[in-house]
Amino acid sequence: MTAEPPVTPPPRATTHATSLVLVNTGDGKGKSTAAFGTVMRAIARGWKVGVIQFLKSGEWSVGEEKVARDLGVDWWALGDGFTWDSEDMSQSRAIAYEAWSKAREVIASGEYQLVVLDEITYPINWGWIPVDEVLKTIRNRPEKVSIIITGRDAPEQIVELADTVTEMRKVKHAFDAGIAAKRGIDY
Ligand code: ATP
Ligand code: MG
């Protein structure tokens, strides 16, 4: 009796896409780090890469941001150029929309072959960034601009539009055992 191959061989590829839209979603770890892994591939091919981070995570993002900048990646973190002088939601909303305006400009410029919209699903799901604007921007993007979207609960319409969607499923997470985020692993 012959064993089943572990994976069904894919159909032979017959077309080459000029760009792709990827979504890394789900409740397990690895959404952002997978995106940054792809950033390394893009850099290796001489692509210009832009990263827009939609959640302010303080020092947590410092690790990958520094390395990426050293590699020539243009990186915008939510809150850049803004001051957080109140906990006011309308201000957070305005800042998120400002970040989206930047993202839209970066995508539409056509100067970047890869644009990462890290954690954009949250402000979309909170109603701070209209999903229709995101869909329109993705659909109308210059042909060589690939996009990676990360964050939990990716909106269904974005999942439909994307070429590749991966759901990170949490099997275990150290955090649940009371282990704090670890420098070098988590940020
Ligand atoms: P990473 O940036 O490590 O790839 P992620 O992008 O998949 O994680 P986020 O929700 O953005 O996940 O998580 C941000 C931080 O929270 C990271 O430090 C990550 O390790 C941690 N984290 C991710 N998933 C979980 C989880 N299921 N429970 C607790 N913490 C998590
Ligand atoms: Mg993340």
Q: What is the pLDDT, as a whole number, of residue 90?
A: 80
Burial class (CB in 10 A: 0-12, 13-18, 19+), 166: middle
* Distance of CA 104 from the midpoint of ligand 1 (Å): 25
Ligand 1 in reach of 36 Cβ (< 6 A): no
Ligand 1 in reach of 84 Cβ (< 6 A): no
Q: What is the pLDDT, as a whole number, of residue 61?
A: 65
Whether 119 and 151 have beta carbons less than 8 Å apart is answered as: yes
Q: What percent of the chain has pLDDT over 90?
A: 76
* Model confidence at 175: pLDDT above 80: yes
* Distance of CA 16 from the midpoint of ligand 2 (Å): 29
* Distance of CA 139 from the midpoint of ligand 2 (Å): 24
The mean predicted confidence, pLDDT, of the chain is 91
Task: Pick from 29, 51, 57 the residue to mutate for probing ligand 1's pocket: most ligand atoms within 8 Å of its CB.
Answer: 29
Q: pTM for this one?
A: 0.91
Domain range list for the chain: 21-169
Q: What is the pLDDT, as a whole number, of residue 40?
A: 97
What is the atom index within ligand 1 of the atom nearest the CA of 175? Answer: 29
Q: Which residues contact 93 (CB under 8 A, 6 or more apart)?
A: 123, 126, 128
Q: Which CATH code of 3.40.190.10, 3.40.50.300, 3.30.70.3340, 3.40.50.10540 fits the domain covering 21-169? A: 3.40.50.300
* Model confidence at 39: pLDDT above 60: yes
Main-chain phi, psi angles of 171, to 5 degrees: -90, -45
* Model confidence at 50: pLDDT above 70: yes
* Model confidence at 62: pLDDT above 80: no
pLDDT by residue (tens digit) across 72-128? 999 999 866 555 555 667 888 888 999 999 999 999 999 999 999 999 999 999 999
* Distance of CA 83 from the midpoint of ligand 1 (Å): 26
Q: What is the pLDDT, as a whole number, of residue 79?
A: 64
